[in-house]
């Protein structure tokens, strides 16, 4: 007579509550992450208007301090981004190529040697700088939607809008390079929005 196989052992009593707790934490964490990193609604027109158009032409480009919308300020890397952009715009406003090199990627430095950079930004002054949102792409990449105003000689203005005062909205790519966040080269896939002051 063959022996009957033993019935399967019942799972330990503690296993079911542990599984429930683990699943609950995972679901809660997923919902929290979705809220933290969800794409925000479009930037309200009132924010755009306040940041650019209420200033007389003689007072353009406005203050050179980088500011953040509440949405951008809520991002975990908001202070890193703000400091990085502040240095970037300060370098342009003070014609400091060496300072600019500290906040951009090697690829961007290679694309703009000192002579090209000084030629491009020779008369440029940037202000009314507002970060609208910060979107993560990966652990080593961010996309920053920023608006600002530039004043310059018309010949130094963008070729598509040769004006002495231009409002810009563009997406700046940020990349982690050698352990530090840097502003990466802007690819052709992102087209800035330009308008006359």
Q: What is the pLDDT along the chain (197 residues), one digit of tens a residue?
A: 455 555 555 556 655 554 454 444 444 444 433 443 344 444 444 444 444 456 888 899 999 999 999 999 999 999 999 999 999 999 999 999 999 999 999 999 999 999 999 999 999 999 999 999 999 999 999 999 999 999 999 988 999 999 999 999 999 999 999 999 999 988 766 789 999 99
Residue by residue, DSSP assigns 136-189 as EEETTEEEEEEEEEEE--GGGS-TTS--SEEEEEEEEEEEEETTEEEEPPPPTT
Q: 35 in a domain, yes or no?
A: no
Q: Are 74 and 68 in contact (CB under 8 A)?
A: no
| pLDDT tens digit sequence for 99-111 | 999 999 999 999 9
pLDDT at 131: 98
Distances in Å between the alpha carbon of 46 and those of 32, 49, 136, 193, 194?
A: 29, 5, 25, 17, 18
Q: 11 in a domain, yes or no?
A: no
pLDDT at 50: 47
Q: 71 in a domain, yes or no?
A: yes
Q: 160 in a domain, yes or no?
A: yes
Q: 23 in a domain, yes or no?
A: no
pLDDT at 115: 96
| Separation CA 56–CA 87 (nearest Å) | 26
pLDDT at 38: 42
Q: What is the pTM of this model?
A: 0.73
CATH number at residue 123: 3.10.450.50
For the chain, the domain total comes to 1
Q: 140 in a domain, yes or no?
A: yes
pLDDT at 45: 42
Query: Parallel, antiparallel, or unpaired for β 180-183 and 141-151?
Result: unpaired
Beta bridge partners of 68: 131
Q: 16 in a domain, yes or no?
A: no
Q: Are 105 and 140 in contact (CB under 8 A)?
A: no
The residues, any chain, with a CB within 8 Å of residue 69's CB and separated by 6 or more, are 43, 47, 130, 131, 132, 133
Could you tell me if residue 116 is left (phi over 0), alpha (psi between -120 and 50 degrees) or otherwise beta? alpha
pLDDT at 197: 93
Q: 32 in a domain, yes or no?
A: no
Which letter does DSSP use for residue 104 in this model?
A: B
Domain extent at residue 99:
45-196
pLDDT at 60: 95
């Amino acid at each position: 007579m063959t022996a009957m196989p033993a019935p399967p052992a019942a799972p330990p009593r503690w296993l079911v509550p542990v599984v429930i707790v683990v699943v609950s934490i995972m679901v809660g964490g997923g919902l929290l992450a979705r809220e933290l990193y969800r794409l925000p609604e479009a930037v309200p027109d009132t924010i755009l208007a306040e940041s650019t158009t209420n200033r007389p032409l003689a007072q353009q480009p406005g203050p050179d301090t980088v500011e953040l919308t509440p949405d951008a300020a809520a991002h975990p890397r908001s202070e890193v981004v703000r400091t990085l952009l502040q240095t970037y715009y300060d370098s342009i406003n003070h014609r400091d190529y060496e300072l600019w090199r500290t906040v951009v990627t090697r690829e961007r430095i290679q694309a703009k040697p000192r002579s090209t950079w000084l030629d491009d930004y020779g008369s440029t002054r940037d202000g009314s700088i507002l970060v609208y949102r910060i979107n993560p792409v990966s652990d080593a990449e961010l996309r920053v939607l920023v608006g600002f105003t530039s004043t310059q000689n018309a010949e130094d203005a963008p070729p598509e809008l040769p004006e002495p005062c231009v409002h810009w909205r563009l997406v700046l790519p940020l990349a982690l390079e050698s352990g530090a966040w840097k502003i990466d080269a802007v690819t052709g896939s992102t087209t800035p929005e330009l308008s006359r002051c």
